[in-house]
A and B are shown apart, each in its own frame.
Chain A
Amino acid sequence: MKIDFSHKQAAHCENGVVSNLMRHNGFDVSEPMVFGIGSGLLFSYLPFIKVNYAPVFTYRVLPGLVFNRFAKRVGVKVKREKFRNPKNAKARLDENLKNNNPVGLQVGVYNLIYFPDEYRFHFNAHNMVVYGKKEDRYLISDPVMERVTSLTEKQLEKVRFAKGAFAPKGHMYYPTAFPEKLELESAIVKGIRQTCRDMTAPVPIVGVKAMRWVAKNIRKWPKKIGQKKTNHYLGQIVRMQEEIGTGGGGFRYIYAAFLQEAAVVINNEKLKEFSKEMTEIGDLWRDFALDASRIYKNRSGESDGYNKIADQLVIIANREENFFKRLKKVV
């Protein structure tokens, strides 16, 4: 069985799955729109959780949150199911496919055979759509891939029941009820407000405060943990910024694209200016990554560039703080 499903590549997996599932159900919502309404943008630093022997840095909200917030704000109902037993998980999936219902799945990347080996880490918050089954192969629309692909029953079971942090436990989700017309206007305003609130929150681990904390640590790390480890951490910061399989995806640019699109939908010219500004901030993040990479290119260390990139990060934090404080006032 094969459901007539149109695959569209996305910059980020969760946005892509939501956008593709919405389009399948007759609602054309772009990836940036999903990301903006779902308040996907964030910065967070979790020094007490280690992944690949480095602390967690993230530029986006927790997996699953984008779809939940988006759905709530536009009036779509989402059903989510998790399973203990792989057999039940497979049966429920097959049932949905039989009913012509493509579903989103949360999966682990480590056993995803169509990714290059180098990209296969134990990262468990990847998302894909299953839209059919041919003999014993499931038809897969993975939003980070240009084209659709497929996995055997065994291969799919393995990625659905990957273990470790954020284990997917067969997690399957799909929209079940839609409004007649999507309430985009109010949803956009709600989405923007929440992002402004999160980014300027008075907590050290999220938003601009977390960026400043990282900057402070970058200055300390070379002495405290040595240059080799510091460089490893810097590499992790850059890889989380945008990389397949880590949940990254150049989020500042996606957000700028959202603001540009939102300006037209809610008829607010000011958002276009904000979009331009967010693009500039995205460029600053890329400069930061480039300068950080110049340091860790030489793995042994011997660089005095740490203070310089910490300064850059502080500048970005100041720009973003100023940006979100003003953005809050125009919506």
Chain B
Amino acid sequence: MDIQEYFSLVFSDYTLRTITLGTAILGAVTGMLGSFAVLRKQSLLGDAISHAALPGIAISFLITGAKDSNTLLLGALVSGLIGTFWIRGIITKTHLKSDTALGLILSLFFGFGMLLLTFIQKQPNANQAGLDKYLFGQAATLVESDVWMMAIVTGICLFVLLLFWKEFKILLFDKDYAKTLGFNTKTIDILITSFIVLAIVLGLQTVGVVLMSAMLLAPAAAARQWTNSLATMVFLAALFGAFSGVFGTAISASQNNLSTGPVIVLVAAVFVFVSFIFSPSRGLLFKQIRFIKNRRDLQLHKTLAFMYNIAETHDDISHPHEIKILNNFQGFTKGTLKKLVEKDYVTLQGSTWSLTNEGFKSASNLYNQLTKNDE
């Protein structure tokens, strides 16, 4: 199946439609909430939480003995929240730093989860197969009820987000100010963190424990490059996330042996890459172009200033001089000379140049009026 075929099938084929819808919704909600995680400098929290959710899945399977994805995800939610609050406890109550706390909880919970998973595998219970799909995720196992679940949770997230938009925003950018205004920052904080945990848990089935953090980060990091407004960023992140989901599913469905989770992550990574380079205000490409342009401007000024210094010593400012004498000094290129001619600052005659009146005037004001744009 190639990609064209995929897009013609996506509306008619039940499985494809479910998976595509599921990954799109997932990408949107993680992108949305990921924006907050990224701006709160909690980028790696997602990684820790998703790993910390694993023992919850195993324990809830051990208790219920059933593979119903909702109960398993409930277990994941509980253990993810325990992990999150333990991380906060470590950071606030001891002198261990946040990265140590994250790494600790991540590896310890994951190791414990693996212990439980291998323990379950040895149990004489035919029902246990397939728990390891939560490690790397299997979008193919999504069914309609899962998608409904995602849609409902996304709806709730969106509702709460809009309801507490002001509070979230102020907490994000000025926590102390929010406190002095009388907002209960602790509650809002817990609310945001809980939603982030919820979004991660939702994605476990599709993308898996290991790669879930990228779903949270990548769309938000990409969106951050295009805007400085929180609302736009959240919207863009949701959009990028949804597109990563759809494209990722399309690519993995059109090839054999391609798991959906890693492909979605790679598509999201491409979004980040493109944004890093091509974003107009922050992107590396335009930054470099601006840098080069500034350097050219400076060079132009330098040449003009040098010419001015020479012309100043003569009574007639338009007295012609050899181009060669410019060569002894840096800052002269053919390009800059041509530019000066274009601006009527300089006239060229054969191998000599002479400053025009206008050129003299603007050169003498060069360092007085830095704001004046010479371009």
A and B pair up: no
